[in-house]
Structure 1
């Protein structure tokens, strides 16, 4: 949702910001032992644009924008907003597939995934977007082995008269953001982890993450909370992110400067 994430329109290959926060020495030790998990947002982070927005703009009835306004004004939660909007999509599965196959991703994400694989770091996509959209886009770019935690697209039913509907397997009644996917709940079993994101749905989870890579709105959010932390600019690409950050950790730096 464009209003939901509001990514910077200049470029999605903007510089990435590294925010080194709590438990730096412990993070270093766990990384060296290859026991760390990397959680990565999808829309605007891996993909260059918000894929759900693109689909809605192309195939949904115009009412989706009024629903968006209700969410922006705080009248409905993110989860309710998403479900109502998905029900407005009028497209066959073949049409959706053809459109999703045109979506671009950050070209260096593949190099980043390769780095994680070689380093023995678990990599998962955690998104408040739509699982089918994400998996289709990743598959188009020959990426099939990453776990995806997201809202679940399903066929609509006769009762709703909708072609599509949405389920929320990762929802939480205690989610402060009212999201379909409570990212905080998803990552909470991991003691030390890296979080990569770009937008509003990443704010809560980034507040608790030991290490955050951020761009766009999330970078601004991290800066506003970084008075007692070390904030460093690294390469704008996923590959540069992996090289600059992980090399500095393995060199033994308690903080990344």
Structure 2
């Protein structure tokens, strides 16, 4: 078995803002009503995202420029390098779509990062999700079942660390060896009785891992 892996959510964890919020604010203000419907539990997560992502209406070049304005945790690049230098593998586990995440990580120049997310492609000025109901990681609500992914990774690694910020991350947190949490995820894990380490940034995560001897160089 490999030694360890660090798995991070993307929206709200690596990025400081969810991509769907960026779309609503800059391109699709009508999406605010959909956001409220979703929060009331009247829409599945994957249906909400599909509606938002097909309401962009930009040429791909302009869309990519917009994607690259998404604010990120400033320490994500150095943190990935630290993980890899210390023998860990870095994964992104997102219930969004790999379409925008790939563009951001291409711009960052981060190498050997595996993105596990809902597949997406650009077509007719929008992002279209490709949900495979026969895929082993399929979730009716999220498109991808993060819990199944963490459990599968644990078959390969001695230790799996996970970092997230919101409700979809409360499910895989039950299976990670150590979960780092920020924002709403902290309260959700407390209610579920799931242990976590509070971390507001990757600087905080690195400090914890250095203190435990996971990161030594």
TM bin (shorter chain): 0.7 to 0.9
User: What is the number of residues matched between the two proteins?
Assistant: 210
Q: Report the equivalent of 1:54.
A: 22
Shift of 1:247: 3.2
* Structure 2 equivalent of residue 81 of structure 1: 48
Structure with greater strand share of residues: 2
Q: What is the TM-score with the length of structure 1 in the denominator?
A: 0.71
Q: Would the aligned equivalents of 2:137 and 2:144 in 1 still touch at CA under 8 Å?
A: no
Q: Gaps (5+ residues) in structure 1?
A: 1-32, 251-257
**Larger CA Rg, structure 1 vs 2:** 1
SS of residue paired to 1:186: helix
Query: Is 1:128 paired with 2:106?
Result: no
Q: Does 1:241 align with 2:205?
A: yes
> Once superposed, which parts of structure 1, at least 4 consecutive aligned residues long, lie more than 6 Å away?
170-174
Higher normalized contact order (CA 8 Å, seq sep 6+, divided by chain length): 1
- TM-superposed deviation, 1:219: 1.7
Say what the alpha-carbon RMSD is for the aligned residues. Answer: 2.8
Q: Is the CA contact (8 Å cut-off) linking 1:42 and 1:125 kept in structure 2?
A: yes
Structure 2: unaligned runs, 5 residues or longer: none
Contact 1:198 1:216 in 2 (8 A): yes
What's 1:183 paired with? 146
Residue matched to 1:36: 4
For the residues of structure 1 that align with 2:183 and 2:103, how far apart are their CA atoms? 25
TM-score under structure 2 normalisation? 0.83
Change (3 A) 1:81 1:41: same
Q: How does 1:1-257 map to 2 (within 5 A)?
A: 35-60=3-28, 62=30, 64-156=31-123, 163-169=126-132, 175=139, 178-191=141-154, 192-226=159-193, 229=195, 236-249=200-213
